[in-house]
Structure 1
Amino acid sequence: MTAYFLPIGLLFVSNIFMTFAWYGHLGDLSRPIWLAVLLAWGLAFFEYCLAVPANRIGYGVYSAAELKTLQEVITLIIFAGFAVFWLGEKLTVNHLIGFSLIAAGAFFIFKGPIAA
């Protein structure tokens, strides 16, 4: 049972690190770009320390496509919250429609009715 939930938890936390690594510097554009890059690399290290074990643990339970799909859906959830709370952006109906279409794609990866 741990192999089902632990990868999801690890991917969730790793995506928090990666979202801050990729987009956190946008909250303060006064820092030099070289500093933003160094800080991003530092944060990305911790993201990898969580993402790699998440994929190793989860691979026996989930397929590679399912793990990637989980990661993408988690990324969207984290990013949506980040954009609103860190960057002060508003989510629009277009964002919600786009995210819903991605969620529909995730459905087909996990439970799609189309047989191979």
Structure 2
Amino acid sequence: MKGIYTTILLMLSNVFMTFAWYGHLQFKKISWLQQVGLVGVILISWGLALFEYIFQVPANKIGFEENGGPFSMFELKIIQEVISLVVFTLITVFIFRTDKLAWNHIIGFLLMVLAVYFIFKKW
């Protein structure tokens, strides 16, 4: 169950992370945000990043094996990276609508799946 909680919290964290890191690139599409300067963009991004950490820190705390969770630190990191790419892709393609999913993206994701396999493989 801790693995499921960890994964859900990491997904929520990555939604906020994606908007904090890349959302400001969409400000030109929102009239009242078009005039926000760099300091304003940084403050808005920090505000969103706060929520990223509100979900990310408990996810790692709950999921870490030394705290009774099922995952090593390497496993937590690779889970976070894969979730990050999936969330980023979904938001970029379906919400921001700035890019199209191409064959090279799919190959890259398949290589990430391979990375997950090797990280979780017990030798």
Question: TM-score, normalised on structure 2?
Answer: 0.85
User: 3-state DSSP class of the match of 1:28?
Assistant: helix
What is the CA–CA distance in structure 2 between the aligned matches of 1:95 and 1:36, rounded to whole Å? 29
Q: Which residue of 92, 115, 120 corresponds with 1:105?
A: 115
Q: Which runs of 5+ in 2 are unaligned?
A: 29-33
Aligned partner (choices 34, 39, 43) of residue 34 of structure 1: 39
Gap runs ≥5 in structure 1: none
- Structure 1 residue ranges, 4+ long, deviating more than 4 angstroms after superposition: none
Partners of 1:65 and 1:93 lie apart in 2 by: 28
Figure out how many residues of one structure are paired with residues of the other and give that number: 112
Equivalent positions of 1:6-21 (< 5 A) are 6-21=5-20
How far off its partner does 1:85 sit? 1.7
What's the counterpart of residue 43 of structure 1?
48
For 1:63, give the aligned amino acid: S
CA–CA distance in structure 2, aligned partners of residues 81 and 58 of structure 1 = 24
Question: Aligned equivalents of 1:70 and 1:6: distance in 2?
Answer: 13
Of residues 22-31 and 100-109 in structure 1, the stretch that sits farther from structure 2 once superposed is 22-31
TM-score for the superposition, normalised by structure 1 = 0.90
Percent identity at matched positions? 46
2:71 paired with 1:72? no
Counterparts of 1:58 and 1:18 in 2: how far apart (Å)?
19
Note the C-alpha offset of 1:86.
Answer: 2.5
Distance 1:75 1:110 in 2: 18
Instruction: Supply the distance in 2 between the matched residues of 1:63 and 1:45 (Cα, whole angstroms).
Output: 25
RMSD value over aligned CA atoms? 1.2
Match of 2:100 in 1: 90
